Amino acid sequence: MELVLAGLVGFLVAGGAYLMMSGQLIRFLFGLVLLSNAANLAIFAAGRLTYATPPFVLSGQAAPAAGVANALPQALILTAIVIGFGLLAFALALAFRAWQALGTTEMDAMRACEPVNLTVGKKDEIGLDGPQAYARKEREAAE
């Protein structure tokens, strides 16, 4: 089964990377979720799999039965899942605000922080930030 998981992790990694490279904010987030799952599964598999024997000390005993599953990677994954959730939540909030601010979800069209022509050094305020941002600027100028 470890081999299956290895393949699955590889597939999730590939899929996540492909989605992220699309340069589209929502696909990027989807890719991020896939990669997080892949990382968790990777830790899980690397800690070796044990079928249906959770690491609990049963009542009346002082230690878990022999052959229980490896508890440490579980604890690590738990930590990783929660951290991953925090990161994802922030990334999502950011994506939302970036869309509001920049008027595009195409990362390549987000050029507010990096000028188009580095040699000239003039910041390109309009034109490359997508039609919405342009329209908003126009509106603000009118107000």
Tell which positions 55-114 bind another protein, by CB under 8 A.
55-64, 68-102, 105-108, 110-114
Element (H, E) at 24: none
Which one, 54 or 127, has the nearer CB to another protein?
54
The angle subtended at Cα 123 by Cα 106 and Cα 98, nearest 5°, is 30
Q: Give the residue from 117, 99, 119, 116 showing the smallest Cα distance to 107.
A: 99
Q: If binding is defined by CB under 8 A, does position 143 make contact with another protein?
A: no
The CB-of-37 to another protein minimum distance in angstroms stands at 5
Site membership for another protein, residue 126 (CB under 8 A): no
Q: Would you say 87 or 127 has its CB closer to another protein? A: 87
- Burial class of 114 by CB neighbour count within 10 A (0 to 12, 13 to 18, 19+): exposed
26 binds another protein (CB under 8 A): yes
Which residue in 50, 127, 131, 138 binds another protein (CB under 8 A)?
Answer: 50
Residue 134 binds another protein, judged by CB under 8 A: no
Quick check: 131 binds another protein (CB under 8 A)?
no
